[in-house]
Amino acid sequence: MKTKKSRILVILLAVTIIVGLLGSGCSLVKVDPEKDKQQTVAEVDGNKILKEEFNNYMAYYQMYFDSNGQTFPKGTELVQLKKDVLNDLVRVETMTAQGKKDGVTVDEAALGTQATTMITNLKTSLVGEDKYNATLATYNTDAASFEAFMTKFIVNNEYANTVSTNYDTALRADPSKELNTVVGKINGEDIKKDLYNYRLANEELLTYYQTQKPLATDAATVKTTNQTIFNTIAQQMAMIKYAEDNKLTVPQEAIDSNMASQTAFVNTLIPGDEALQKYLDQKYLTVAKFREFQQQDAKAAAATTVIQSDLASKVTVSDSEVKKYYEDNKQSYDTSTVSAKHILATDETLAKQIYEEAKNVKTTEEFDALIEKYKTVDGVKEATDLGAFTYGKMVPEFSAAAFALEKGGVSQPVKTDFGYHIIYVYDKTQGQIPSLEDKKTEVTEAAKSEKAATAFTKFTDDLLKKQKIEIKDIVTPLATYIVQLKKDLNVKVYENRIN
């Protein structure tokens, strides 16, 4: 009995040692390089994509990084890069297969010449022949295999691009399928791609207006943007319904006024319907449809104003609340003034650069010279003389910084919702702070407005919390098309074989 038990323990111990050695990378089993690169890593319409092709594509990426002086990914980033490379191979092969079924033709001879030129450049000016050959060896391939792959891949990319263009052209001719795609639900009601695309266009335009930069497309920004879009749609729907349910009249002139404001805003960024249509083509929307959604926007904005006014009419403030408001905002009633000039940058790095030049300024003329230097620089929204102003005239962060400076002083970059300000104060006058009794009516109204604003914020927050929002995965039309092609062409991917 003891002998049998001991034998079992010895076997278990041996198995444990072998597993440990395999896990630690010890090469108990040697991989045959030739057999390894003949593994199938994907299949498209019955055609195999071999690991040799994947290896060649990875070699190209390595050369691309090297030629651009970039550090090649490691660890989890390398794992993700390998997945991306395989997915791109599959995407191109899938679209090529469909293109050939559709009768698409490309100039393979010209593309072959292009591939030859690219390979020559890699060998010579970009990475050099020694590095070129060493990289190929690293990825278990050789010059003949790599060059054949790159020629084929460039040709196939042209097929893929042509298929993509053809699909986009057909979709523009009849975008109904794309625009009727359901991308989520609000309180059980379908939200379609047309409304989503309209709201996305608004987010893009607003971001560009505020930052002079396009809306970012990284995963985190896309997620935040989508949540903002659905929150906006939900809140607008809820506001219109609340106004209707509570018999609050939304004046047509208010809707028209909001519509005019929205149209004017879009016109400042994209002047004229022709330019607007060119932009909307990316969203498969017409100007007419865009205006239709703008009308709904305008109605929601007008309903919101009516609701806000209705809530404000019910607000009352006590004497103690009025007194507290006065004490909290006493400085805003100060008649003292500051005269200042500023340079407003959208980017903090640029603002710091300007400050480094401005911090030693001693005269108005010296700051004026900086205004002249930077007023036409990209990233500078404004560079001007603001004249004299009281504390309450500007946003709080700006006023606090300006009033804290002595005459002739320059501020470090001051962040507000508008960007980063470098402020130069060239004059100050001392005024007086009127008493509460002198300002009783004004303070009372201001206290009411603040209380009403707080009440309205709570109202909108509570209203939004009641909305049931469901957001689906939202992808581009091309991505949707590729998913369908992969089903049609019976695409199989063996991701575990690329490591």
User: Over the stretch 147-166, which tens digit does the pLDDT of each residue have?
Assistant: 999 999 999 999 999 999 99
Q: 191 has which bridge partners?
A: 184
Work out whether strand 337-345 and strand 189-192 pair parallel, antiparallel, or are unpaired. unpaired
Q: Name the average pLDDT for the chain.
A: 91
Sign of CA dihedral 418, 419, 425, 431: positive
* DSSP for 100-162, written as a single string: HHTT----HHHHHHHHHHHHHHIIIIIS-HHHHHHHHHHTT--HHHHHHHHHHHHHHHHHHHH
Distance from C-alpha of 298 to C-alpha of 261, rounded to nearest angstrom: 9
Number of Cβ atoms within 10 Å of the Cβ of 463 = 16
Helix pair angle (348-358, 364-374), 10° resolution: 150
Distance from C-alpha of 3 to C-alpha of 150, rounded to nearest angstrom: 63
Token representation of residue 291? 């205006």
Task: Give me the pLDDT at residue 14, please.
Answer: 38
Count, residues in the chain: 499
Task: Check whether 4 has a pLDDT greater than 50.
Answer: no
**Contact indicator for 414, 340 with CB cutoff of 8 Å:** no
Task: Give me the pLDDT at residue 212, please.
Answer: 87
**Contact indicator for 90, 497 with CB cutoff of 8 Å:** no
pTM exceeds 0.85: no
Average pLDDT over residues 334-346: 95
Average pLDDT over residues 342-369: 95
Instruction: To the nearest 10°, report the CA torsion of 481, 482, 487, 488.
Output: 70
User: Over the stretch 456-485, which tens digit does the pLDDT of each residue have?
Assistant: 999 999 999 999 999 999 999 999 999 999
Q: Give 208's contacts (C-beta < 8 A, 6+ positions apart).
A: 214, 215, 269
Task: Check whether 39 has a pLDDT greater than 70.
Answer: yes
Task: Check whether 332 has a pLDDT greater than 90.
Answer: no
Share of the chain above pLDDT 90, in %: 86
CB-based burial label for 146 (10 Å; 0-12, 13-18, 19+):
buried
Task: Check whether 1 has a pLDDT greater than 50.
Answer: no
Task: Give me the pLDDT at residue 401, please.
Answer: 96
Task: Give me the pLDDT at residue 22, please.
Answer: 36
Task: Give me the pLDDT at residue 30, please.
Answer: 63
**Contact indicator for 374, 354 with CB cutoff of 8 Å:** yes
Task: Check whether 210 has a pLDDT greater than 60.
Answer: yes
User: Over the stretch 9-24, which tens digit does the pLDDT of each residue have?
Assistant: 333 333 333 334 334 4
Sign of CA dihedral 137, 150, 479, 45: negative
Share of the chain above pLDDT 70, in %: 94
Distance from C-alpha of 301 to C-alpha of 313, rounded to nearest angstrom: 18
User: Pick from 255, 269, 419: which is nearest to 352 by CA?
Assistant: 419
What strands lie across the sheet with 337-345, from one edge to the other? 380-389, 337-345, 419-429, 414-416
Average pLDDT over residues 180-184: 96
Average pLDDT over residues 222-237: 97
Distance from C-alpha of 195 to C-alpha of 451, rounded to nearest angstrom: 34
- The better pLDDT of the pair 83, 124 is held by 83
Comparing 126-135, 169-178, 348-357, the range with the smallest average pLDDT is: 126-135
- Nearest 5°: CA angle at 425, between 419 and 427? 145
Phi, psi values for residue 183, rounded to 5°: -110, 0
Chain position carrying tokens 């239709």: 292
Average pLDDT over residues 348-361: 95
